[in-house]
Amino acid sequence: MCKASRGNPRDAFFISQNYKNNHQNLITMQVAIQGVKGAFHEVAARNYFGNDIEILPMLHFSDLAESVQNGDCDYGIMAVENTISGTIHANLNLIREHKLVVCGEEYLRIRQNLVAKKGTKIEDLNEVHSHYMAINQTRKFFKQHPNVHLVDSIDTALSMKEIAENNLDKRGAIGSLLAAEHYDLEVLAESIETNKKNYTRFLILRNKETWNKNDSNKASMALVLDNHLGSLAEILSIIASHNIDLSKIESVPLVGEPWHYQFYLDVLFDDKSKYHNMITEISSKLDRIDILGEYTNGNQSYSKIHHHDN
Amino acid sequence: MCKASRGNPRDAFFISQNYKNNHQNLITMQVAIQGVKGAFHEVAARNYFGNDIEILPMLHFSDLAESVQNGDCDYGIMAVENTISGTIHANLNLIREHKLVVCGEEYLRIRQNLVAKKGTKIEDLNEVHSHYMAINQTRKFFKQHPNVHLVDSIDTALSMKEIAENNLDKRGAIGSLLAAEHYDLEVLAESIETNKKNYTRFLILRNKETWNKNDSNKASMALVLDNHLGSLAEILSIIASHNIDLSKIESVPLVGEPWHYQFYLDVLFDDKSKYHNMITEISSKLDRIDILGEYTNGNQSYSKIHHHDN
């Protein structure tokens, strides 16, 4: 039922780097994304895995999770948090419900671009369509173009698809350069987002049964603990005492259990044995602990992207 | 420029309770919401303030924040977190950027209802339109109705408005009962959401200059701290040592400052002097602290709603 494991994604990445030199023996990996072709999920997938992958577009996040669970693809990639809109709890729940394992992460800076039919000028446009988040991100740019009426749509790449399919010449769209290329549209203005520090974090997902653990310096987990005064402080003190750093913490109230809290934690470690000792020590004090995955952190590429922009 | 303060919202609530007995001298408060009439923001506003308010619909969250800042309304109400989709960081940022004060909170259980033109039956429908979150929430219900094609739209109440304005008889919509009533549509099925524990938390917002503090047992704040190992554990230990409970914690990475974190914290307290002592003690250890507001917690109504449902 499940496809055989094809190695870890970083191997695949190196395979893709050597594609031209070593065309034979290449196995094209299938990566499930949410959204249509050209969506930011595809951009993140190509940044992480390289270009020699087959993209499987999924309409809903739940379809994406099912596809990974059923082994219909090799990997899935799923947005879980964004600088502006926060953590998508529903997606973290999907990962847990479908018993997927997090085996990597990718941070993508969200760059919005104005595109339209080839030959169009900004002055020709009556309307620009995009997802409301993309519109919110670019409102400042459009203040200089009062001729343009901004219209909310359900998806950035889909708004481009509509222009291409219906050959609309008074309408623009906002979204990724990849989508513009895919739908053969012209880029009228690049990187028009107001906030240049808007990142989305994507998790790379894998079926638990076909996944072989490899190197890691980061782990994501969900904890449930009894909220007596200071219980969270105690857990965090233990983590710090093992020389392990916290890169994310987020409480999730458990409805109907007023003094019971669930926390999502991400930790960073240099030494795996210290990490394992820490897990053993905190587990005895917790009502429940779920490790979502142990993987290599994506901070390097994150900082690299960031330095380019400033 | 700013309207005179008209008392605190709970006073207004009691005024509305006595409306029939005491019609004269009633001053109708203006409350800005996000979305069109019938949006869940209006439902939350009426639950909090009572029915004798004037609703000012705002297209975008930023318009809502501006309206409160400029004194164009008495209060604003703004969704900041949801059980399924998490915290809306952009909205917390708007509260801080516009220097608004949080003076209350309201938890609303999100109930989705299927509505259509009067006289329509479920079997007659070809399409049902709604915001993708509402569709995701009700997918299970529609599995029993394969005749219905689900179509994403940009807003729940707007989908109802479209049916009413265009007199569409093959189309349904999903949203609040208030919107159904407002657009004079028939409710074909009530409370069709799969997750009966989906709550949205709304904050009641006020212009800082016209707000007089009143009783409080809860505070929302944003902290920035140097992420040396264990620094967060230290802050939480101090909070616990003052007998103050944490009801929310969420880290927000500061892009470009890799070892610097911002945290949103909500705390609950019985004794205001203990709270003030705690703030004094942690402030000396923080790089920055912003108190977003001190107010009365909405947990009572939250638990009350919850007990009704189970």
Check whether residue B41 and residue B78 sit in a common domain: yes
Q: Are residues B82 and B155 in the same domain?
A: no
Residues A92 and A137 in one domain: no
Supply the DSSP string of chain A, one letter for each residue.
Answer: -PPPP---HHHHHHHHHTTTT--TT--PEEEEEESSTTSHHHHHHHHHH-S-EEEEEESSHHHHHHHHHTTSSSEEEEEEEETTTEE-HHHHHHHHHTTEEEEEEEEEE---EEEESTT--GGG-SEEEEEHHHHHHHHHHHTT-TTPEEEEES-HHHHHHHHHHHT-SSEEEEE-HHHHHHTT-EEEES---S-TT-EEEEEEEEEGGGPPP---SEEEEEEEEE--TTHHHHHHHHHHHTT-EEEEEEEEE-TT-TTEEEEEEEEE-S-HHHHHHHHHHHHTT-SEEEEEEEE---HHHHHHHHHHH-
Residue B119 belongs to a domain: yes
Binding-face residues of B in 162-221 toward A, CB within 8 A: 197, 199
Residue B92: inside a domain, yes or no? yes
Six-digit token pair at A194?
């107001």
* Interface check A233 vs B, CB under 8 A: yes
Q: Give the residue carrying structure tokens 């905190």.
A: A282
CATH of residue A87: 3.40.190.10
Q: Which of residues 269-308 of B touch A (CB under 8 A)?
A: 299, 303, 306
Residue A47: the pLDDT is: 94
**Same structural domain for residues B104 and B118?**
no
- Which pairs from A244-249 meet CB under 8 Å and 24+ separation? A244/A268, A244/A269, A244/A274, A244/A275, A244/A278, A244/B229, A245/A269, A245/B227, A245/B229, A246/B227, A246/B232, A246/B251, A247/A218, A247/A297, A247/B251, A247/B253, A248/A220, A248/B251, A248/B253, A249/B232, A249/B249, A249/B250, A249/B251, A249/B263
Q: Say if the Cβ atoms of A230 and B251 lie within 8 Å.
A: no
What's the pLDDT score for residue A310? 30
In a domain, A88, yes or no: yes
| Alpha-carbon distance B194 to nearest alpha carbon in chain A (angstroms) | 13
Same domain, B210 and B225: no
Q: How many domains in chain B?
A: 3
Residue A243 contacts B, CB cutoff 8 Å: yes
Per residue in B97-125, pLDDT (tens digit) is: 999 999 999 999 999 999 999 999 999 99
> Same domain for B209 and B82?
yes
Cβ pair B85:A83 closer than 8 A? no
Tell me: do A75 and A206 sit in the same domain.
yes
Task: Give B182-191 pLDDT, tens digit per residue.
Answer: 999 999 999 9
User: What CATH code is carried by the domain that includes residue B231?
Assistant: 3.30.70.260
Q: Is residue B13 part of a domain?
A: yes
A1 within some domain: no
For residue B25, pLDDT over 80 is answered with: no
If one compares A114 and B304, the residue with the highest pLDDT of the two is A114
Which of A192 and B213 is assigned the larger pLDDT?
Answer: A192
Query: Both B124 and B52 in a single domain?
Result: no
**Shortest CA gap A256–chain B (Å):** 7
Could you read off the pLDDT of A167-193 as tens digits, one per residue? 999 999 999 999 999 999 999 999 999
Do residues A207 and A76 both lie within one domain? yes
Residues B69 and B202 in one domain: yes
B1 in a domain, yes or no?
Answer: no
Give the pLDDT confidence score for residue B238 in this predicted structure.
Answer: 95
A78 and A155: one domain?
Answer: no
Q: Which of A232, A255, A310 sits opposite B246 (nearest CB)?
A: A232
Q: Which of chain A's residues have a Cβ under 8 Å away from the Cβ of B136?
A: 60, 62, 90
* Residue B306 counted as domain residue: no
Full residue range of the structural domain in which residue A272 is found: 218-295
Task: Give yes or no: residues A182 and A265 share one domain.
Answer: no
Residue B149 domain-assigned? Answer: yes
